[in-house]
């Protein structure tokens, strides 16, 4: 009798340990209630889509399920009450990006008010479906913490091309990231075709940060349309950045009359701010850009103008313009330029976005969104919030992915002894001052920025992006009470399977020697300050 009891007890322990429910989804959902058993996707499984408006989402889910399980469920338009069905159901009672996922042994219900909500339900479903088609029973209620969940890629310093961008968009979709900030112009290259100014790509697209003589590389307008459509299908908004009035060196190679400022490295760094021809150029560029990107935003840059504006002090025409327009000094002229450029963007039906320098330029919260990037200038964040600006948080520490991510890494940036390890990234933005929590309504979201001076190829781009982007995704979506770094690490190891299948060369913080640091320009570029 004792042996029977002991055997039964051991079986209970074994099955309890084996069957302990865990959710493997990244970002972790806001609410999970675990059930018992599994839904099994097999050759008879159907996707029921009675709402014809959800048919595109049904087709995407069908493709995702087939890729994971090897089984292709049939899509049916009528509501079916039989077992072995995945139902896509629209409701009117949920926020735009929210979703519910109810997984039982006989039926899965994906419920949302919008197409994007259904899409996110599908992304969560795919992450917990194993290769045999088994899905653990659970109920999920989920919605994002922040509206803006972003990634910025700098393609001026180094150009990566359409396939790389599309792969980034694929992984962003899996992580429920929804904003792709595309830095297309800067010192090293102009990367977007502008029909009215063909020399921008004929002359301005030559070279990169590491090789001044590299062949011209840029996106045609047809490329842009294709990538924008690809992003739209994944519910990702692409926001272009045309950096001005600084970081305009690529313009100076094509149209030098539109630029001025600086010596040596900074020659031609700024647009010429007192010429009406310059403002006509800016408007015409913005007009073509606005037509290519349906997003309600255009990023105008506005940062680091001081690198080139010192030359304005000795330019007679500039000094005359400052005096006649009562602008006081060159900083006043910089702000004048930004106000005019922002007005152009607004006139094209768009909201401007600018780096945190723009908050002192006289722009207003109904014209502009602010990206706070200077982690050492919390006063800029405080001023932006106090002035009522909506703010996107992307401070260098910990959101700049050109910073190294491990003590052993040699190529990239540091800030003193600080660098951006995955654990520090994961803690963001909850490790910010109370200033942020006290202004929740003005925090649009968070974003990772990948500056590419030290990133010349896809392998290094992948290495610097992952796994830190995965940590950013959870911080952008999941409430602080849902987050746990130990649990995240467990799920991260599982997510590596997806990165492996996608051909991503990521940094493995659990086994550092297994992923050696790839080569990058300027091996010894360890920066202690900015």
Phi then psi for residue 429, to 5 deg, are -95, 15
pLDDT in tens, 353-403: 999 999 999 999 999 999 999 999 999 999 999 999 999 999 999 999 999
Claim to verify: residue 34 and residue 113 sit in the same structural domain: yes
Please report which confidence band the pLDDT of residue 75 belongs to, taking 50, 70 and 90 as the band edges.
very high
DSSP β-ladder status, 270-271 and 259-260? antiparallel
Query: What residues contact residue 506 under an 8 Å CB cut-off, 6+ apart?
Result: 462, 463, 465, 466, 467, 496, 499, 515
Instruction: Tell me how far apart the alpha carbons of residues 396 and 394 are, in angstroms, rounded to a whole number.
Output: 7
CB 411 within 8 A of CB 454: yes
Please report which confidence band the pLDDT of residue 434 belongs to, taking 50, 70 and 90 as the band edges.
confident
Letter string b/e over residues 64-89, b meaning 16 or more CB atoms within 10 A of that residue's CB: bbeebbebebebeeeeeeeebbbbbb
Point out the domain boundary residue: 121, 142, 163.
142
Q: Total domain count for the chain?
A: 2
Pick from 108, 64, 74: which is nearest to 89 by CA?
Answer: 108
Claim to verify: residue 309 and residue 181 sit in the same structural domain: yes
pLDDT in tens, 6-30: 444 443 343 343 455 689 999 999 9
C-alpha separations of 124 from 64, 235, 263, 409, 493 in Å: 11, 15, 53, 33, 17
CB 358 within 8 A of CB 367: no
| 378 domain-assigned | yes
Q: What is the pLDDT of residue 13?
A: 40
SS3 label, residue 237: strand
pLDDT, averaged across the chain: 93
Claim to verify: residue 63 and residue 190 sit in the same structural domain: no
pLDDT in tens, 280-293: 999 999 999 999 99
| 272 domain-assigned | yes
Residue 267 has pLDDT above 90, yes or no: no
pTM of the model: 0.94
Instruction: Tell me how far apart the alpha carbons of residues 262 and 247 are, in angstroms, rounded to a whole number.
Output: 11
Lowest pLDDT segment from 88-92, 401-405, 517-521: 517-521
Provide the percentage of residues in the chain whose pLDDT is more than 90.
86
Lowest pLDDT segment from 114-118, 338-342, 408-412, 497-501: 408-412
Tokens of 221: 């307008």
DSSP β-ladder status, 368-372 and 270-271? unpaired
502: domain CATH number is: 3.20.20.80
Point out the domain boundary residue: 107, 142, 177.
142
Count CA atoms within 13 Å of residue 119 on its CB side. Answer: 22
Reading phi first (left if > 0) and then psi (alpha if -120 to 50, else beta), residue 224 is in alpha
| 263 domain-assigned | yes
Reading phi first (left if > 0) and then psi (alpha if -120 to 50, else beta), residue 515 is in beta
Cα angle: 258, vertex 261, 264; to 5 degrees:
120
Claim to verify: residue 251 and residue 377 sit in the same structural domain: yes
**For the residues 176-202, what does the mean pLDDT come to?**
98
Cα angle: 89, vertex 91, 92; to 5 degrees:
160
| 529 domain-assigned | no
Q: What is the pLDDT of residue 493?
A: 98
Q: What is the pLDDT of residue 149?
A: 99
Cα angle: 151, vertex 399, 349; to 5 degrees:
45
SS3 label, residue 150: strand
pLDDT in tens, 18-71: 455 689 999 999 999 999 999 999 999 999 999 999 999 999 999 999 999 999
| 4 domain-assigned | no
CB 428 within 8 A of CB 399: yes
Query: What residues contact residue 142 under an 8 Å CB cut-off, 6+ apart?
Result: 29, 30, 31, 98, 99, 100, 101, 120, 124
| Residue-number span of the structural domain to which 132 is assigned | 21-142
In DSSP notation, 308-350 reads HHGGGGG-HHHHHHHHHTT--SHHHHHHHHHHHHHHHHHHTT-
CB 520 within 8 A of CB 452: no
| 8 domain-assigned | no
What is the edge-to-edge ordering of all strands in the sheet holding 74-76? 31-40, 134-142, 99-103, 107-112, 85-90, 46-48, 74-76
Residue 255 has pLDDT above 90, yes or no: yes
Letter string b/e over residues 100-123, b meaning 16 or more CB atoms within 10 A of that residue's CB: bbbbbeebbbbbbbbbbbbbbbbb
| 524 domain-assigned | no
CB-based contacts of 80-83 (< 8 A; 24+ apart in sequence): 80/46, 80/48, 82/46, 83/107
SS3 label, residue 462: helix
Claim to verify: residue 295 and residue 254 sit in the same structural domain: yes
Q: Determine which helix (DSSP H) or strand (DSSP E) holds 12, and give its type and residue range.
A: helix 2-18
Claim to verify: residue 392 and residue 430 sit in the same structural domain: yes
Q: What is the pLDDT of residue 5?
A: 43
Pick from 442, 441, 439, 460: which is nearest to 450 by CA?
Answer: 460
What DSSP state is assigned to residue 149? E
Pick from 119, 116, 219, 122: which is nearest to 164 by CA?
Answer: 219
Count CA atoms within 13 Å of residue 442 on its CB side. Answer: 23
Please report which confidence band the pLDDT of residue 440 belongs to, taking 50, 70 and 90 as the band edges.
confident
Q: What is the pLDDT of residue 520?
A: 76
Q: What is the pLDDT of residue 522?
A: 59
89: domain CATH number is: 3.30.379.10
Claim to verify: residue 426 and residue 502 sit in the same structural domain: yes
| 124 domain-assigned | yes
Length of the chain: 530
Residue 173 has pLDDT above 60, yes or no: yes
Instruction: Tell me how far apart the alpha carbons of residues 178 and 167 are, in angstroms, rounded to a whole number.
Output: 14
First to last CA, the chain: 73
Please report which confidence band the pLDDT of residue 475 belongs to, taking 50, 70 and 90 as the band edges.
very high
CB 381 within 8 A of CB 372: yes
Point out the domain boundary residue: 142, 158, 183.
142
Claim to verify: residue 459 and residue 383 sit in the same structural domain: yes
E-state strands within 394-525: 443-450
Claim to verify: residue 90 and residue 190 sit in the same structural domain: no
Residue 121 has pLDDT above 60, yes or no: yes
Reading phi first (left if > 0) and then psi (alpha if -120 to 50, else beta), residue 321 is in alpha
Claim to verify: residue 221 and residue 81 sit in the same structural domain: no
**For the residues 270-274, what does the mean pLDDT come to?**
96
Claim to verify: residue 131 and residue 154 sit in the same structural domain: no
HEC string of 132-147 equals CCEEEEEEEEECCCCC
Claim to verify: residue 357 and residue 499 sit in the same structural domain: yes
């Amino acid at each position: 009798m004792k042996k029977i009891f002991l055997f039964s007890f051991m079986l209970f322990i074994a099955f309890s340990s084996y069957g302990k429910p865990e959710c493997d989804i990244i970002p972790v959902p806001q609410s999970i209630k675990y059930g018992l058993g599994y839904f099994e996707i097999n050759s008879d499984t159907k996707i029921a889509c009675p709402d014809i408006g959800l048919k595109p989402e049904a087709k995407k889910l069908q493709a995702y399920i087939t890729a994971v399980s090897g089984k292709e469920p049939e899509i049916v338009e009528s509501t079916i009450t039989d077992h072995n069905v995945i139902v896509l159901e629209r409701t009117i009672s949920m926020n735009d990006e929210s979703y519910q996922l109810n997984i039982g042994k006989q039926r899965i219900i994906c419920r949302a008010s919008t197409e994007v909500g259904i899409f996110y339900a599908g992304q969560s479903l795919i992450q917990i479906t194993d290769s045999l088609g088994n899905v653990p029973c659970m109920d999920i209620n989920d919605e994002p913490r922040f509206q803006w969940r972003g990634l910025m890629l700098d393609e001026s310093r180094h150009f990566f091309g359409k396939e790389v961008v599309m792969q980034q968009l694929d992984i962003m979709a899996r992580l429920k990231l929804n904003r792709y900030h595309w830095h297309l112009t800067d010192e090293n290259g102009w990367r977007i075709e502008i029909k009215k100014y063909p020399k921008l790509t004929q002359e301005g697209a030559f070279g990169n940060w590491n090789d001044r003589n590299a062949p011209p590389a840029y996106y045609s307008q047809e490329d842009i349309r294709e990538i924008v459509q690809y992003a739209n299908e994944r519910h990702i908004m692409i926001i272009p950045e045309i950096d001005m009035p600084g970081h305009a060196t690529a313009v100076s190679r094509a149209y030098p009359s539109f630029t001025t400022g600086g010596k040596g490295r900074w020659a031609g760094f700024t647009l010429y701010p007192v010429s009406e021809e310059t403002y006509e150029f800016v408007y015409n560029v913005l007009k073509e850009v606005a037509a290519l990107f349906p997003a309600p935003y255009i990023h105008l840059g506005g940062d680091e103008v001081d690198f080139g504006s010192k030359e304005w002090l000795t330019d007679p025409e500039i000094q005359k313009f400052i005096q006649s327009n009562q602008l006081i000094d060159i900083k006043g002229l910089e702000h004048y330029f930004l106000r005019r450029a922002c007005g152009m963007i607004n006139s094209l039906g768009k909201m401007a976005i600018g780096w945190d320098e723009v908050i002192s330029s006289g722009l207003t919260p109904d014209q502009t969104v602010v990206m706070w990037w200077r982690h050492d200038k919390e006063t800029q964040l405080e001023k932006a919030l106090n002035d009522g600006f909506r703010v996107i948080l992307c401070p260098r520490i910990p959101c700049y992915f050109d910073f190294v991510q491990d003590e052993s890494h040699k190529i990239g940036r540091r800030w003193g002894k600080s660098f951006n390890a995955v654990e520090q990234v994961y803690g963001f933005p909850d490790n910010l001052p109370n200033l942020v929590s006290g202004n929740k309504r003005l925090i649009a979201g968070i974003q990772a920025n990948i500056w590419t001076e030290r990133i010349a190829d896809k392998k290094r781009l992948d290495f610097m992006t992952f796994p830190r982007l995965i940590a950013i995704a959870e911080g952008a979506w999941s409430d602080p009470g849902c987050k746990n770094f130990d649990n995240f690490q467990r799920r991260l190891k599982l997510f590596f399977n997806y990165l492996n299948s996608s051909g991503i060369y990521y940094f493995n913080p659990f086994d550092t020697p297994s992923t050696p640091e790839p080569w990058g320009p300027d091996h010894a570029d360890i920066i202690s300050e900015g």
